[in-house]
Structure 1
Amino acid sequence: MPTYHYRCKNCGYDFTEHQSFDDAPITVCPQCHEEQVRKIFSAVPIEFKGSGFYRTDSGKK
């Protein structure tokens, strides 16, 4: 299950939730109970493993 990061625009409360892809996004802040919560997007880490990622690993010789 993916983890999503949320922040309330009203009180600034940051929290994370484990949610299914089918679950609706959270809109109500669990701290101040206002409908000001927005999902925070961030860069996804990428890790390259194995061969084929360097100039010397692929192509004709």
Structure 2
Amino acid sequence: MPTYLYKNTDTGEIYELRQSMRDDAYTAHPETGVPIKRVLARPSIAFKGSGFYANDSRPREKSEGGGSSESKPAPKTESKSGASSKGGGEG
């Protein structure tokens, strides 16, 4: 069962009470009967950065366009092999 924060409306004292998610919020403390109000708190975990969206799990090559990323390495490889081929054939 989750733990919820409740605040005493008279004194401002904070209580942590376990309660089912399906139950309505308490209006009075279950043991003492003093009036209380549920306090909303920030979650203790935050998801930041990449990897939390459906499009982050896809490979970058496919999302950027496979043809353009494949053509960039090809000229570099050809120029290196082409230079050594020309040098070997002429000399």
Q: State the TM-score, normalized to the length of structure 1.
A: 0.60
Which residue does 2:51 correspond to in 1? 52
Matches within 5 A, 1:21-60: 21-29=21-29, 30=31, 33-35=33-35, 37-44=36-43, 45-47=45-47, 52-53=51-52, 57=56, 58=58, 60=63
Instruction: Name the one with the larger strand percent.
Output: 1
**Structure 1 vs Structure 2 CA RMSD:** 2.7
Q: State the TM-score, normalized to the length of structure 2.
A: 0.45
Are residues 53 and 22 of structure 1, via their aligned partners in 2, closer, same or farther at CA, if it must alter by over 3 Å? closer
Q: Which has the larger radius of gyration?
A: 2
Hey, what's the Cα distance between the residues in 2 that align with 1:17 and 1:7? 10
Instruction: Name the one with the larger helix percent.
Output: 2
**More contact order relative to length (CA 8 Å, sep ≥ 6):** 1
Q: Which runs of 5+ in 2 are unaligned?
A: 65-91
| Identity over aligned pairs, percent | 27
Size of the aligned set, in residue pairs, is 55
